Chains A and B, each alone.
Chain A
Amino acid sequence: AQSVAQPEDQVNVAEGNPLTVKCTYSVSGNPYLFWYVQYPNRGLQFLLKYITGDNLVKGSYGFEAEFNKSQTSFHLKKPSALVSDSALYFCAVRDWMDSSYKLIFGSGTRLLVRP
């Protein structure tokens, strides 16, 4: 089965500094990878996805993610963090089970951006 791991429970960064939220994956075949963000008391919102093509994927709110096949990683990045980026971030992989696709989520990483 496919899986993703988010090794950091929390990431702290100062506003204006670059941020990275890490994700590694374990899949058979070509991975379909996603990043979602969750703000307090809300559902998850889609940020970006990697299906195929360029290894650098751009998404919403200035976020981007770099797919690295040799390191089996899909880290989320932003050049300059904002306080409003503080939220819970989930990496996910699409899995094929029982003739249907599903999303398998990592455990989440809390991002805190301090002013």
Chain B
Amino acid sequence: NAGVTQTPKFQVLKTGQSMTLQCAQDMNHNSMYWYRQDPGMGLRLIYYSASEGTTDKGEVPNGYNVSRLNKREFSLRLESAAPSQTSVYFCASTHLFGGVEGSPLHFGNGTRLTVT
């Protein structure tokens, strides 16, 4: 049982290049999320998908797009990378986040992106 898998683990881009970060979960979770982690700022939500077929902006969506390809997969695309997007990106998922029990998020191991 792999949980949440992110690819690639590391990436270096030049300013203006594009790339897609991939995320897949095998826990049959409904909701998926993309966060970025920067020193001293904790994790900030970029985009999320509450359920298959829906996506919504989070706290810092500018410069990013997402696709919920199916229930398992949720990708994050940088169309024209900028140095300000240098960060560690985490994908997360949860079964029924709006439920009474408050299901915890399950995180992938991250993608470390550097934009030069």
Q: Which of A44-52, A63-71, A76-84 contacts B (4 or more CB under 8 A)?
A: A44-52
Minimum distance in angstroms from B41 CB to a CB of chain A: 6
A9-B102 in contact given A43-B4, A102-B48 (Cβ < 8 Å): no
Across-interface contacts of B44 in A (CB, < 8 A): 105
Report the Cα distance A102→B31, complex, angstroms: 10
Contact B4 A100 (CB under 8 A): no
| Interface SS majority for chain A | strand
Complex partner residue of A102 from B4, B33, B42, CB under 8 angstroms: B33
As a 0/1 sequence over residues 24 to 39 of chain A, the CB contacts with chain B under 8 angstroms (1 = contact) are 0000000010101000
Contact B110 A46 (CB under 8 A): no
Whether, in the assembled complex, B40 has its beta carbon less than 8 Å from a beta carbon of chain A, the answer is: yes
Count of chain A residues with a beta carbon within 8 Å of a chain B beta carbon:
25
A43-B98 in contact given A102-B33, A105-B43 (Cβ < 8 Å): no
Report the Cα distance A102→B47, complex, angstroms: 10
Minimum distance in angstroms from B113 CB to a CB of chain A: 14
Report the Cα distance A19→B101, complex, angstroms: 28
Across-interface contacts of B92 in A (CB, < 8 A): 43-44
Contact B4 A49 (CB under 8 A): no
Report the Cα distance A34→B100, complex, angstroms: 14
Whether, in the assembled complex, A61 has its beta carbon less than 8 Å from a beta carbon of chain B, the answer is: no
Q: Which residue of A is nearest B40, CB measured?
A: A107
Whether, in the assembled complex, A54 has its beta carbon less than 8 Å from a beta carbon of chain B, the answer is: no
15 A-B pairs with CB atoms under 8 Å apart are A43-B92, A43-B110, A44-B43, A44-B90, A49-B102, A51-B102, A90-B42, A94-B97, A99-B50, A101-B97, A102-B45, A103-B33, A103-B105, A105-B42, A108-B42
Q: Which residues on B are within 8 Å of A, measured CB to CB? A: 4, 31, 33, 35, 40-45, 48, 50, 56, 58, 90, 92, 97-98, 100-102, 104-110
